Structures are given as C-alpha cells and as structure tokens.
C-alpha cells in the first residue's frame, strides 16, 4: 500500500464530507425513521411509496439536509433543502400572556385559542384530486403545503403553536426531509436505543459514555472488552482510541456478533487495532508454535471479506439490502445489518505474541457488557488479567447481578473503590416560550459497577 493510501485511510474518519462507499445514518423527518446506508451511485432509499437515488448525497458535508422533490419528470429525487425567506412569527411572554412578534418587530397581542374549532373534515376545500393535479403540473412539496394552508378555513383561527404543528405535519407528508448524520458512537447508540434497545442490551448513550469514562479509555491503552451488545461497545472504544493501543474483544464459547462495528467509518489503522480472543486462550498457558489455531471456536470471525458479508443474516431485510440500506424502522428479528460489498476487517484473531504480552503486562482496563452471561463468572476469570490499579466498569440492565458481583469482590479482596452507579438522563425541549422536559423520556438506563483492581498477593 502506498503512502498516499495510508494517509487517506488515516484521514477517512476525520472527513467532514461523505464519500463513495462510506456509511451514513439517514434521519428522516426528525427521527421518525432512521436508516443506515452505504453510499453508492446505485443505492436507493424508499420514502413513503417513492424510491430515490442516494447519489446526490455523495460529496456533501455531514449535517446537510435534503428534501424529497417530486416536481421532475424523471421521478422523485433528493435535493438540498433551501429554507424559505419568510420567517414565522415568534412568540414571547409578557405579563403572563402570549404575544406574537411580527416581522417589523412590533408585538401583537394574541387572544386566539382552539376552543371554537371543530374537527369535522370540512375545513379543507382542496381535494386529493387537486393535489395530484398540482403534482402532475410540477408543483413542489412546499407549494402544495402553501396551497393547503390557503384553502384551510380554520388555519387563521388557530394559535401560532397550532399553525406550526400543522405546517410540520404537512411537511412530513408532502416534503419529507432527510438529514445526513455521521455514524459515530453517539448517533449509532441513539438510533438503536430508539428503535431496537434489546439488541444493544438497553445500553443508553449516557451509560455508554460513563462506561468509557469509568474505564479510563484513553490513547495507547490496551482495553479488554466483553461485548455482547452487537459490537457497539467495541466500536466506541476503538473510536476513542483513534488507532492507538488495542481493543481485545473476549468472549466465552462462540465469538459474538460484531455487526455494528462495520457501520463505523473506521480507518484500516483503527481496524487493525481491533482483535479478538476467547477467554480460554487468555487464561491458558503459553502455547507452543505447533498448536493449530483452527481449534478456536470463534474462528468464524477470521473469514474472508465476502464470507463476513455472507455471515450476516440478510433474510429479514431483503427488501432494502438490494439498495444498500438498512431501515431501523422495519420489523425484523435480527440486527439491522449494513450491506457492504467490502466488509471492514475488524476483529481478527489476536496473535500469540500479543496475547503473551498481555499475560505478562496486563490490560489497561476492563469493560463488560454481557446481559445474558453471569457477571461474577466473567469478572472472576478476567479481573486477574488486568494490571495492578487498573480500572474496570461492568454494565448490566439489572441491579442484582452487579450487587452479587460487588459482594463477591469484597469477600475475595480483589478490588477497591467499588460502587454501583445508576445513570440518569433528562432531555429538554428548548423552544421560545415552551422550554420543558420531553413528554416521553427513557426512565431507566441500567447500572454500572466500577472499581480498581488490586494485587491479591499482597
């Protein structure tokens, strides 16, 4: 590989714009639908009953907003969203009453309310046939929305808040927006937690950040990870290390799935730092060179790129895999997987030399997220592999397994500074005159057991 290709791989994760073959998280209509996609000229995205190409998204900065445009004779397509020049009136509160601020800066007292409005489906004079005629004539989504507002008999009688909600409802139907989000640890965790929290063990984004902080994940660290949440924890640790140190994904029995790691736009240098090793290999004595590595029950992860692609179950997402997209809003029973022609080679089997080095020097920290395994059994086996004074953090959805593990650690005198933390998160809606906590929030984020390993021979 040439030096220019090496530089491109190092800078790939730092790019501010998309490129062909990169992974993106498409946020449709402010989180109503979340889609993981890999950008190729032939990839398509289905919005409603319309298919549009993802080629316009290639080369655009992350954070760009696109809007579905159906005015062309060539079919629907995504075009960059251009905010309209007119700005809605804003509301302020004065003397306990709402007042609307007009464009000229003057305050107009508003005494309107929705008590006299009756929802009898007769206020809209524009019919469905009229809307279809406008579409055939090339009318854009915003023009249809303005026509609906102009033909509504009750729009002017509504409060400004109700008018804004009416516009947003029609915009989602006739002019849906698509936001390009970078697939990083936060956005991926939020997307999975919103649609399929069971697949990541109900690991919330603030809990994930606390795990990384309590385990002191920093550059040039060798992190031992037990990741049974689809690869989210492994990818988050590798992303923070940034190509320094190592992430060793350990497991009892068969190697777990690491599908989510492939969604991260990790460079080749970072992928090389993600290795795997079974717990039995880490606990065994130094092996002879003649030992056959094929006996590892997790050798399925060291297949070729095409075999790794084929190992991901694509049966339930066949309707979207042909377009290179994976819809988190679709009902399926497996991990929503990203279809990639060239899978990222992350999770190769750790070499015997580096395993011997870890046995001699110890790991820098330990992170466990294994909801379906016995916590104390894992900790009892893996904690001796850490160096002295190394921190560890263990996540579980329920309190009792961590309480039992904490009690046993105290009895065995294996760690100090033990504490169980319950993360707490409250999201706020921040809007003029109506800032308040969200009406629907996550009330539970699991528990984290943290501590510091000590030398048991003293």
In this prediction, residue 327 carries a pLDDT of 64
Mean pLDDT of 196-216: 95
**What whole-number distance in Å separates Cα of residue 65 and Cα of residue 83?**
10
In this prediction, residue 431 carries a pLDDT of 82
**What is the length of the chain?**
458
In this prediction, residue 62 carries a pLDDT of 93
Mean pLDDT of 310-339: 41
Here the contacts of 187-194 (C-beta below 8 Å, separation 24 or greater) are 187/25, 188/25, 188/232, 188/235, 188/260, 188/263, 188/264, 189/232, 189/236, 191/25, 191/34, 191/36, 191/328, 192/230, 192/232, 192/260, 192/328, 193/442, 194/31, 194/34, 194/328
6 pLDDT tier (thresholds 50, 70, 90): low
Contact 229, 237 (CB under 8 A): no
Report the sign of the C-alpha dihedral through residues 346, 347, 353, 357, in that order.
Answer: positive
DSSP 8-state code for residue 301: G
Half-sphere exposure of 185 (CA within 13 A, CB side): 23
CB atoms within 10 A of CB 210: 19
In this prediction, residue 131 carries a pLDDT of 81
- 3-state class of 6 per DSSP? helix
Residue 49, burial from CB neighbour count under 10 angstroms (0-12, 13-18, 19+): exposed
Contact 192, 332 (CB under 8 A): no
Contact 36, 23 (CB under 8 A): yes
Least confident of 165-169, 317-321, 325-329, 413-417: 317-321
Tokens at residue 8, please? 């491109």
In this prediction, residue 353 carries a pLDDT of 92
Tokens at residue 137, please? 């004539």
The per-residue pLDDT for range 343-357, each reduced to its tens digit, is: 447 788 999 999 999
Mean pLDDT of 41-64: 89
Residue 225, burial from CB neighbour count under 10 angstroms (0-12, 13-18, 19+): buried
The per-residue pLDDT for range 96-115, each reduced to its tens digit, is: 344 444 444 444 545 667 77
77 pLDDT tier (thresholds 50, 70, 90): confident
Higher pLDDT, residue 14 or 278? 278
In this prediction, residue 405 carries a pLDDT of 97
- On the question of pLDDT at 326 being above 50, the answer is yes
The per-residue pLDDT for range 135-188, each reduced to its tens digit, is: 777 778 788 888 888 888 788 888 888 888 888 888 888 888 999 999 999 999
**What whole-number distance in Å separates Cα of residue 173 and Cα of residue 420?**
46
- On the question of pLDDT at 192 being above 90, the answer is yes
Residue 159, burial from CB neighbour count under 10 angstroms (0-12, 13-18, 19+): middle
Domain with CATH 3.40.50.150 in the chain: 184-453
Mean pLDDT of 205-216: 96
CATH H superfamily, domain 184-453: Vaccinia Virus protein VP39 (3.40.50.150)
Residue 340's alpha-carbon distances to 147, 190, 264, 333, in angstroms, are 43, 22, 12, 20
For 189: left if phi > 0, alpha if psi spans -120 to 50, otherwise beta; the answer is: alpha
DSSP 8-state code for residue 184: -
């Amino acid at each position: 590989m040439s030096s220019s290709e090496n530089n491109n791989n190092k800078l790939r994760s730092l790019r501010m714009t998309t490129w062909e073959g990169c992974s993106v998280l498409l946020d449709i209509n402010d989180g109503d639908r979340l889609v993981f996609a890999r950008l190729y000229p032939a990839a398509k995205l289905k919005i409603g009953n319309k298919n549009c190409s993802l080629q316009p998204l290639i080369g655009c900065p992350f954070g760009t907003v696109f809007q579905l445009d159906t005015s062309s004779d060539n079919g629907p397509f995504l075009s960059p969203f251009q905010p309209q020049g007119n700005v809605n009136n804003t509301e302020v509160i004065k003397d306990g009453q709402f007042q609307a601020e007009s464009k000229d800066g003057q305050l107009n007292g508003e005494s309107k309310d929705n008590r006299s409005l009756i929802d009898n489906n007769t206020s809209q004079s524009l019919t469905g046939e009229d809307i279809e005629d406008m579409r055939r004539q090339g009318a854009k989504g915003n023009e249809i929305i303005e026509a609906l507002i102009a033909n509504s008999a009750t729009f002017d009688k509504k409060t400004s808040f109700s008018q804004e909600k009416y516009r947003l409802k029609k915009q989602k139907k006739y002019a849906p927006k698509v936001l390009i989000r970078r697939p990083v640890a936060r956005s991926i965790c939020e997307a999975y937690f919103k649609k399929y929290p069971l697949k990541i063990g109900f690991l919330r984004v603030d809990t994930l950040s606390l795990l990384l902080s309590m385990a002191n994940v920093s550059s040039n660290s060798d992190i031992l990870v037990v990741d049974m949440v689809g690869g989210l924890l492994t990818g988050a640790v590798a992303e923070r290390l940034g190509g320094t140190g190592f992430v060793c994904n350990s497991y009892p029995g068969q190697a777990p799935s690491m599908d989510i790691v492939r969604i991260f736009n990790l460079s080749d240098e970072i992928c090389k730092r993600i290795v795997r090793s079974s717990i039995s290999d880490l606990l065994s004595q130094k092996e002879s060179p003649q030992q056959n590595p094929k006996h590892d029950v997790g050798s399925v992860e060291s297949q070729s790129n095409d075999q790794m692609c084929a190992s991901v179950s694509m049966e339930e997402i066949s309707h979207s895999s042909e377009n290179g997209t994976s819809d988190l809003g679709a009902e399926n029973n497996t991990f929503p997987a990203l279809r990639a022609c060239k899978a990222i080679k992350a999770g190769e089997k750790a070499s015997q030399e580096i395993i011997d080095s870890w046995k001699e020097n110890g790991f820098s920290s330990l992170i466990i997220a294994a909801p379906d395994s016995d916590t104390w059994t894992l900790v009892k086996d893996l904690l001796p592999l850490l160096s002295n004074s190394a921190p560890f953090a263990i996540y579980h959805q329920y309190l009792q397994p961590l309480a039992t593990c904490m009690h046993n650690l105290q009895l065995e005198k294996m760690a100090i500074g033990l504490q169980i933390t319950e993360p707490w998160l409250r999201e706020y809606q921040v809007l003029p005159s109506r800032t308040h906590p969200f009406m629907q929030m996550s009330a539970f984020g699991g528990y984290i057991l943290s501590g510091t390993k000590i030398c048991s021979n003293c």
